[in-house]
Amino acid sequence: MKLYVAMVGLPARGKSTLAKRIRSGLEQQGIHAAIFNNGELRRMLFGPESGSAEFFNPDNQRARRLREQITRQNMERARAWLDEGGDVAIIDATNGTVEQRTELSATLQDRPILFVECVNDDPLLLDASIQRKTRLPEFANMTQQEALDNFRRRLAYYESVYTSVRKERCWIRVDAVDSCIQDEAPSNDLPYYAAIRDIISSRWVQDLYLVRHGETEYNLEGRLGGDPPLTAKGMEQAEKLAAHFEGIELPYIFTSTKLRSASTARPLMPSRPNTILRPMSEFDEINAGDCEGMRYSDIRDMKPLEYEARARNKYGYIYPNGESYAMLKDRVARGLRRALFIAGEGTLMIVGHQAINRTILSLFLFQRAGDVPYTYIPQNQYYHITITQRRKLFEMVRYA
Ligand code: F6P
């Protein structure tokens, strides 16, 4: 039982990340899978110059022939690998036109093909993916701006000829950000179909470190929100966090846009020249509206009705001109989806806040809504979370 999986999708839509996930999900089940990437083969065969936008111009006949040559060679490599004992060969390329997909089906008649199309319409994520692409070796001799312009032109060429899967015999269309299946032309007699569908649609979190910022002046005074700095103890906690993570790779660190979150992440950075630090407003602490900057005791004394209403229903309570936990859910879920996508499902850290981290945890745990605002979120411990098909880990680790 052998299968070709052909990825489909415009550049920077998350195809390679999904291809890797399919490969490791299958491998974990003892099914041998390998990825055959057109882009890597292109760089190997034709060097960095082939990264220029004109190489992807559909009217450039010479480049077109070279691209077809790459596709053919990649198909041959995939077939040879299956002949030698592999189970699932994943062809990672845009495969964005009906002609290209017809060619794939015609050439690879020896085994069935499943087309897996990746779509992603979030402009922020597209932007982040494009930024990441400009770090490819083929852009090494360009400025960042030149690389961006070049890649955007390449994208426009692809878009000018792209069509979604529809007529092919068996396909799945995946929202690459939400990890959910949008549509499919299923074929239950296809080998590994059910396993692949399960891998595609399951949440995948590989080493998420969820940290709360260190102690602040406001924490000492019991005040809400604001943008206070860390105390000396908070800065010490941040240093200890950095020392604790020495030697652990963290390609991406996400913070909120607040000072306390950025200051907690800062000591991690000097020893990590390649780490990308990204502030995201989705991770800003719950907005306490008219109560921002107040002490809990002030609210009790000056706004007793508000205080009591919150005590009665902490999850549903909306601060006047502010937010509730229930409202946080959507924006935090959007932030988490974006962070996981940007990190390419690799290791990442989020330095959040009390209510934010409670909400993030609630997105993974089967918790009653009413319990969410009471989860313990200390400032000297973090949550280490891994969720793959085979491994579910929730661990609280002390670092200070
Ligand atoms: O006290 C720190 C803090 O992060 C505040 O800024 C925020 O309003 C509060 O925690 C959220 O926790 P709770 O919902 O328990 O008040």
- Domain identity same for 115 and 234: no
Q: Which atom of ligand 1 is nearest to the CA of 374?
A: 15
Q: CA–CA separation, 156 vs 327, rounded Å? A: 37
* Rounded distance between C-alpha atoms, residue 3 and residue 45, angstroms: 26
Task: Give the end of a domain, one of 168, 202, 236.
Answer: 202
Instruction: Report the pocket of ligand 1 as residue ranges, CB < 6 Å.
Output: 219, 224-225, 285-286, 288, 353-355, 373
Q: Report residue 394 as tokens.
A: 């929730």
Element housing 307 (H / E): helix 304-312
- Of 227, 261, 319, 354, which is best to mutate to test ligand 1, by the most ligand atoms within 8 angstroms of its C-beta? 354
- Give the rounded distance of the alpha carbon of 279 from its chain centre: 15
For 376-394, what is the mean pLDDT? 92
Q: Following CA atoms 215, 220, 222, 225 in sequence, which dihedral angle do they give, to the nearest 10 degrees? A: -40
- Confidence band of 301 (pLDDT split at 50, 70, 90): very high
Task: Determine which residue's CA is closest to atom 4 belonging to ligand 1.
Answer: 354
218 & 288 share domain: yes
Q: What is the pLDDT of residue 219?
A: 97
Q: Does the pLDDT at position 188 exceed 80? A: no
Q: 121: CA distance to ligand 1 center in Å?
A: 33
Tell me the mean pLDDT in the region 229-256.
97
Q: Residue 212: which of 271, 255, 272, 267 has the closest Cα?
A: 255
> What pLDDT is stored for residue 186 in this prediction?
87
Ligand 1 centroid from CA 382, angstroms: 17
The ligand 1 atom at the shortest distance from the C-alpha of residue 291 is 8
Domain boundary at 160, 179, 202, which? 202
Q: Residue 399 phi/psi, 5° resolution?
A: -125, -10
- Is the separation of the CB atoms in 10 and 120 below 8 Å? no
User: Above 80 in pLDDT, residue 383?
Assistant: yes
Structural domain that includes position 225: 206-398
User: pLDDT averaged over the chain?
Assistant: 94
Q: What is the pLDDT of residue 204?
A: 86
Of the three residues 202, 223, 240, the one that is the final residue of a domain is: 202
Are residues 133 and 225 located together in one domain of the fold? no
Domain count, the chain: 2
Q: Which atom of ligand 1 is nearest to the CA of 225?
A: 6
Please determine, for residue 282, whether its predicted confidence score (pLDDT) is greater than 90: yes
Do residues 217 and 175 both lie within one domain? no
Alpha carbon nearest to ligand 1 atom 7, residue: 224
| DSSP H or E stretch at residue 133 | helix 123-133
pLDDT tens profile 195-220 = 999 999 888 898 999 999 999 999 99
Q: What CATH number does the domain containing 8 carry?
A: 3.40.50.300
Query: CA-to-CA distance for 181 and 165, rounded, in angstroms?
Result: 14
CA nearest to 199, candidates 20, 340, 347, 37: 20
Structure tokens at 171: 């396909």
Query: 6 forms bridges with which residues in the sheet?
Result: 91, 115
Which atom belonging to ligand 1 lies closest to the Cα atom of 325? 14
- Determine the residue of 257, 299, 325, 353 to mutate for testing ligand 1's pocket, defined as the one with the most ligand atoms within 8 A of the Cβ atom: 353
The Å distance, Cα 333 to ligand 1 centre, comes to 19
Q: Cα(261) to centroid of ligand 1, in Å?
A: 14
Interval 221-233: pLDDT, tens: 999 999 999 999 9
φ/ψ of 170, rounded to 5, equals -140, 120
What digits encode the pLDDT tens for the residues 146-177?
A: 999 999 999 999 999 999 999 999 999 999 88
Asked if residue 262 and residue 388 are part of one domain, the reply reads yes
Q: Are residues 177 and 265 in the same domain?
A: no
Beta strands in 2-138 (DSSP E): 3-8, 33-37, 88-92, 113-119
Using CB atoms within 10 Å of the CB of residue 190, give its burial: 0 to 12 exposed, 13 to 18 middle, 19+ buried: middle
Ligand 1 atom showing the smallest separation from residue 354 Cα: 4
Residue 391: pLDDT band by 50, 70, 90 thresholds?
A: confident
| Measured distance CA(249)–CA(68) in Å, rounded | 38
> Quick check: helix, strand or coil at residue 65?
helix
The CATH number of the domain holding residue 333 is 3.40.50.1240
Whether 311 shows a pLDDT value over 90: the answer reads: yes
Q: Which of 201-210, 236-245, 278-287 has the lowest mean pLDDT?
A: 201-210
Atom of ligand 1 lying closest to residue 353 CA: 4
Do 111 and 237 have their domain in common? Answer: no
- CA atoms of 396 and 385, how far apart (whole Å): 9
Please give the Cα distance from 276 to 251 (Å, whole number): 6
275 — pLDDT class (breaks 50, 70, 90): very high
- Could you tell me if 188 and 248 lie in one domain? no
**259, 261, 264, 285: residue to mutate for ligand 1 pocket, most atoms within 8 A of CB:** 285
Are residues 261 and 144 located together in one domain of the fold?
no
Q: Are residues 50 and 184 in the same domain?
A: yes
> What's the CA-to-centroid distance between 225 and ligand 1, angstroms?
7
> From atom 12 of ligand 1, which residue's Cα is the shortest distance away?
355
Residues 194 and 328 in one domain: no
Stated pTM of the model: 0.88
Residue nearest to atom 6 of ligand 1 (CA): 225
CA-closest residue to ligand 1 atom 10: 354
- The pLDDT > 90 percentage for the chain reads 84
Nearest protein CA to atom 1 of ligand 1, as residue: 224
Regarding whether 210 and 196 lie in a shared domain, the answer is no
